[in-house]
Amino acid sequence: MDTTHNVIIIGSGPAGLTAAIYNARAELHPLVIAGLEPGGQLMTTSVIENFPGFPDGIEGPVLMQNMIAQAEKFDAKLVYENVVSVDFNQKPYKIKTPGNEYLTKSVIISVGSKPRRLDLESEAKYWGKGVSTCAICDAAFYKGKVVAVIGGGDSAMEEANTITKFAKKVYLIHRKNEFKASKIMQDKTFTNPKIEVIWNTVVNEIVGDMVVTGLTLFNNQTNTESELKVDGMFLAIGHIPSTEIFKDQIELDEVGYIKTPDGVHTSIEGVFVAGEVADPSYRQVITASGMGCKAALEAERYLSHLL
C-alpha cells in the first residue's frame, strides 16, 4: 500500500503481457495483476498458426508462458490475483484485490472478453477439441470436413463464409427464422453453395469420441430432436467484455466495451486500454499484442510528463 507503482497492467493475455514487456524494458517496473488463471483465452487454444515467427505454429499455452518469461526477464512483476474493484476518482489510482490494495500513477486495462457459450457440459468437454470461436484461427484444421456454425449475426455470417474456404460443407444453425445480420452479409451467405441454413434450431448436446463427431439439435417449432454429423462446431453468438468492475469508473459503450477515441486512451487521464476489451471487431492475438504495445508507449509518454 505504501508503494506507488509507475504502471499497473490488469490482465495477462497477449495485450497485457506485450505491454508488460515494453514497459519493463523502459525500466518502469510494471506490476501485472495477472488473475488466478493467467494467459487469457490462449490457455485453452491448441495450435496457433497465424502468429508471426512460428512457421510450424505454436501451442497457445506455450506462447503465453514465453510471453510471461520474457516480461519477467526485464523485471516485470506478476501477481496472481483477481481485481475486485478500482478507484480512478483520485490520484494515485487504487486497485483492490481480495488480499491487497495497490496504488499506481497509471493503468493499462487489458482484461479481454469472453465468448458467449451455450453452457453445455459437452461444450466444455470438447472445447479446443472441435468446439471453437475463431474461424480465422481454426478453419484450416477442417479442410474437406463438415462444420456447424451457431449464430445469426454478422459474425456468424463471416465465420461461415471463412470456413467454406476449407470445409466441404457448413451448416449455419440459428434459433430463429430470420437473421439479424446485415443484408450484404446475408446475401453472401445465401449465395454460398457450401452453406446450408438450419432455422429455428438450437444445440442440445455436442457428441464426440475424443473430438466432436456430431450435434443433437432441437427444433423449437416442431419440438423435435435430430442428429447432425459434423467434425466441428464454431460459436458465433457474441462476446462479453470483462468490464463489470469498471462500469462506474470509466466510460463504456452500450455493450460494455471500453470507449476509446484512438484504441488506446480512455475517458480517464493516465488510464489506457489494450486488447479485446476495446476491440469487438478483430479479436486476434496479433492485434491484441499491437494494442498492448501502443498502450505501453502511451503510458511511458504520460509518465515522462509527470517526472
pLDDT at residue 64, as a whole number: 96
pLDDT at residue 257, as a whole number: 95
pLDDT tens per residue across all 307 residues of the chain: 569 999 999 999 999 999 999 999 999 999 999 999 888 888 867 688 889 999 999 998 999 999 999 999 999 999 999 999 999 999 999 999 999 999 999 999 999 988 889 999 999 999 989 999 888 889 999 999 999 999 999 889 989 999 999 999 999 999 999 998 889 999 999 999 999 999 999 999 999 999 999 999 999 999 999 999 999 999 999 888 999 999 999 999 998 999 999 999 999 999 999 999 999 888 889 999 999 999 999 999 999 998 6
pLDDT at residue 307, as a whole number: 65
How deeply is 116 buried, as exposed, middle or buried, from its count of CB atoms within 10 A (0-12, 13-18, 19+)?
middle
Contact status, residue 270 vs residue 107, Cβ threshold 8 Å: yes
pLDDT at residue 37, as a whole number: 86
Write down the CATH superfamily of domain 4-114+239-306. Answer: FAD/NAD(P)-binding domain (3.50.50.60)
How far apart are alpha carbons 198 and 307 in whole angstroms? 61
pLDDT at residue 1, as a whole number: 57
Q: How many residues comprise the chain?
A: 307
Judge whether 4-114+239-306 and 117-235 match in fold.
Answer: yes
Contacts of 160 (CB under 8 A, 6+ apart): 135, 149, 170, 172, 189, 192, 195, 236
Hey, where are the domains in the chain?
4-114+239-306, 117-235
Contacts of 121 (CB under 8 A, 6+ apart): none
- From the candidates 138, 154, 187, 231, give the one annotated as an active-site residue: 138
pLDDT at residue 82, as a whole number: 96
Dihedral of CA 273/276/279/280: which sign?
negative
Residue 59, Cβ neighbours under 10 Å: how many? 15
- Please, which residues bridge with residue 48 across strands? 58
Rg value, the chain, Cα: 21
Contact status, residue 234 vs residue 163, Cβ threshold 8 Å: yes
- From the candidates 119, 134, 248, 262, give the one annotated as an active-site residue: 134
* Owner of C-alpha cell 518469461: 69
CA atoms within 13 A on the CB side of 172: 30
pLDDT at residue 45, as a whole number: 73
- Would residue 293 show up in a list of annotated catalytic residues for this protein? no
- From the candidates 56, 75, 87, 137, give the one annotated as an active-site residue: 137
What CATH architecture does domain 117-235 belong to?
3-Layer(bba) Sandwich (3.50)
Considering the entire predicted model, what is its pTM? Answer: 0.77
